[in-house]
Structure formats: C-alpha cells, structure tokens
Amino acid sequence: MKKKFQGTLFLIVGNSGSGKDSIISGAIKKYPDNLKSVFLTKRYITRPPSEFEDNYTISVDEFKEMEKQGEFALKWHIYHLDYGVPIEIDDWLKKGHAVIVNVSRTIIDEAREKYENVRVVFIQVPFEITLQRVKDRGREEGDLLNERIERAKTHQTLPGADFVVDNSGKLEDAIGQFLNYLVDVVRGTEKKRNGYSSKI
C-alpha cells in the first residue's frame, strides 16, 4: 500500500557531473519564505567523506545494520557503493513539507510504488559537457571514472521524468528552472504553468 502524505517527494536524477547538488542547493537558497518548508535529505553512503557532498559516511556493516532495523525509506547500490535515504523523510512528508533527495534512476520505480506523491526531476546535460565536468572535478579515476562516463553516455534521457531541467548553459538558469517547478508543485499550480521542459 502506498504512503499517501500531503508533502511531495522530489527525486532529483542526473548523470555524474550534471550539477544536481549545485542546482538543489541553489534552489533551496532562493526558496520563498512564505511557503511550506522544503527539506533536503542527507544520504547515508558507504564511502569516505567528500568535500563535494554533504552526506553521512558509514561502513558497509553499519549500512547493513541500519537496513536491518528499517532505518531507510529508500536504498540502492550503484558504483560499488550503498546509498540510503533516512526514514525520517516520512515525518516531514506527513507534515506537508516538500522533501528533496538526490537519487539514482534505479530507485525511481520502487519509490513510485512506495509513495503516492512523487515528482521525478531529471537534470539533462549534453554528454560532451558532462564528460568534461566529471574529469575536471577529479573525484573519480580509473575504472570508476570510466564506469561513470559510460553510464552518462547511455543515459542521456529519462522518459519517465515529470520535469526536465536543462543545465547545458548557465547554472543560474538551471536553478531557476528547478525553483519555478518546485514552487509550483508546492503551491498546487503545477498544471497551470507553461514553458516547462517537456518530458523526454
């Protein structure tokens, strides 16, 4: 049975180097104060801390124990790492707040089965730009770098996305696209606006 909460769960999807974190943080900073609060969820990840991301770093054994105790609302395994979204998001959603999570596209179907009120936002970037961004950030190397590059090459679209953000130009433009969509969904005016990127 799906969880039917008043708040909306926003799943942000995009290839490595697409700018997901920058777009999310930029939109939250500009989010109107007069609307219901929006929460950005920190994920649990089984890898060393990174200056580029704000996550909870845990060991594989700790992850398995948390999973066993039912402490994850969503979880997935990709690039040889485990990712978990804390179950506390349910408390925020129950109170009508919007919740934003940076996720893998592999979890979308499961999330839609678990939650009634879900919006999937795809951050789209041409492969050539993604390639350069991934190399420039220097976060991965060797086989892991090649794996992310190959995945980006074959995952340039997301047909099931509710909204597509074009981040091929200025970051501020991409932030504005996502912010406008976020605000409209929270206000309940999502279907009344025009000019959104169409589903692809």
How many C-beta neighbours within 10 Å does residue 166 have? 14
Query: Which range scores top for mean pLDDT: 14-23, 134-143, 164-173, 186-195?
Result: 164-173
Bigger pLDDT: 159 or 88?
88
Taking only the tens place, the pLDDT of each residue in 19-33 is: 898 999 999 999 999
Q: How distant is the alpha carbon of residue 158 from its chain centre? A: 13
The rounded distance, in Å, linking the Cα atoms of 104 and 94 is 24
Q: Any idea what the Cα angle at residue 80 is, between residues 45 and 126, rounded to 5°?
A: 90
Give the residue among 2, 80, 11 at the shortest CA–CA distance from 43: 11
How many C-beta neighbours within 10 Å does residue 165 have? 29
Residue 192 has pLDDT above 50, yes or no: no
What counts of helices (H) and strands (E) characterise the chain?
A: 7, 9
Mean per-residue pLDDT over the chain, rounded: 84
pTM: 0.82
How many C-beta neighbours within 10 Å does residue 190 have? 17
- Tell me, which fold does domain 9-36+97-192 have in CATH? Rossmann fold (3.40.50)
